[in-house]
């Protein structure tokens, strides 16, 4: 993985994910290529989930559900125990 790349916006990440799924569904990739696509897909999924969580938090603040709330940074996926 290359962390030096700029994080794509939510829509860009979704479009990339869709492309990865299409590639993998065609079944024309080698095992190594499939694993690379899968790894990239997992990374993008986590980025999308983080963006959704942050957007939900902002909406909650704007709607005044917790007037004193401020956005908080989220931990990496896997830092939390499974429900």
- Spatial separation of the C-alpha atoms in residues 78 and 43, rounded to whole Å: 12
**What is the per-residue pLDDT across 8-55, written as a single tens digit (0 to 9) for each?**
588 999 999 999 999 999 999 999 999 999 999 999 999 999 999 998
Domain boundaries, the chain: 10-62
Global pTM exceeds 0.85: no
Q: Predicted confidence band at 63 (pLDDT cuts at 50, 70, 90)? A: confident
3-state secondary structure 12-30: HHHHHHHHHHHHHHHCCCC
pLDDT computed for residue 39 by the predictor = 96
Alpha helices in 1-83, H assignment, sequence order: 10-26, 31-62
């Amino acid at each position: 993985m290359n962390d030096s790349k700029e994080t794509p916006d939510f829509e860009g990440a979704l479009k990339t994910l869709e492309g990865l799924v299409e590639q993998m569904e065609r079944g024309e990739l080698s095992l190594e290529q499939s694993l690379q696509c899968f790894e990239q897909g997992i990374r993008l999924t986590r980025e999308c989930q983080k963006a959704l969580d942050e957007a939900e938090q902002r909406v909650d603040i704007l709607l005044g559900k917790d007037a004193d709330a401020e956005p908080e940074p989220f931990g990496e996926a896997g830092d939390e125990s499974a429900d």
